[in-house]
Structure 1
Amino acid sequence: MSYPIQKSDDEWRAVLNKEQFRILREKGTEAPFTGEYDRHHPSTGIYTCAACDAPLYRANHKFKSGCGWPAFFDAVPGAVTRHTDTSFGMSRTEIVCSNCGGHLGHVFKGEGYNTSTDERHCVNSISLKFAKGEGVEGGESGESDTKA
């Protein structure tokens, strides 16, 4: 799939640290309960892609899941793209930044969390940056991502 921001691995290595590159570009995962945004719960603000600064999640979409990674029930409309991930002998739904293709994590449905979408976007903290304030304009719910 093609994304608006295209860079070679060398170009990404020039702007990302080693761990960011491993997770965002090589689809790695940070250890649970270690990321800076796991226990971060502001009431306003926006989480952006650590690679390209594209707005991904609003602070009010974040919830406490106890899973060890930041959890969101919805994304900024069009901000994330879903792919089927069949690694590790199972089928999961990978989520990537729609702007640069950076790996964010996975989305899980039907786990019974008391959210409007019954989804948990399980995102690596290292894939995110946080900015205070309102961030982006747009709706609060609905079909929020692109399926590819």
Structure 2
Amino acid sequence: MKKILSLLLLTLFIGCSSNAQSTKKENKEYKISKTEAEWKKQLSEQEFYVLREAGTERAFTSPLNKEHRKGTFVCVACNTALYKSEHKFDSGTGWPSFDRAVKGNVELDVDYKIGYARTELKCNTCGGHLGHSFDDGPKTTGKRHCINGVALKFIPKEK
């Protein structure tokens, strides 16, 4: 019985000490890198909370939920084009939602902040936290990029 219990504990210990969280890109260098003080000077308090501390704005508070013009949604911190208006849809969740990002401009990462793995979305230029990706989007891609509106700035398409 002691051997079985010891083997079970050893298996549990090895399983818990795996490198499952090593996929997190903690030390990635971004094209735009600033100190915390520099980001605080540039960003509003809410922008800093979301982009630099991986916070979440309250649902249904972003004016971008009702933005239906043609154009591009860019990172509010570095102006990198992140999402095109034609990929935006109303998910009913209270946050701007897109079925895909501008190729190469949004980084996928792993977030364990609430106790289980979620796909975190970050700006690939400055590393700012944007939101999360879920597999319950429209049939086009099946993805829902649930984005904090405060992390975005809308640039309307010129006529």
Which category describes the TM-score, using the shorter chain as reference length?
0.7 to 0.9
Q: Unaligned regions of 5+ residues in structure 2, if any? A: 1-27
| Aligned residues of 2:72 and 2:154 also touching (Cα < 8 A) | yes
Give the corresponding residue for 1:28. Answer: 55
Match of 1:99 in 2: 125
Distance 1:2 1:108 in 2: 26
Deviation, structure 1 residue 19: 0.7
**TM-score after normalising by structure 2:** 0.80
How many matched pairs? 131
TM-score normalized by the length of structure 1 = 0.85
Query: Which amino acid in the other structure matches residue 133 of structure 1?
Result: K
User: Is residue 73–residue 115 contact of structure 1 (8 Å, CA) maintained in 2?
Assistant: no
The higher-RCO structure (CA 8 Å, 6+ apart) is: 1
SS of 1:11 mapped into structure 2 = helix
Q: How many angstroms does 1:114 deviate by?
A: 2.9
Identical pairs, percent: 44
Taking only aligned residues, the RMSD between alpha carbons, in angstroms, comes to 1.0
SS in 2 for 1:67: coil
For 1:115 and 1:15, locate their aligned partners in 2 and report how far apart those are by CA, in whole Å: 38
Structure 1: gaps of 5 or more residues: 135-148
Q: Which has the larger radius of gyration?
A: 2
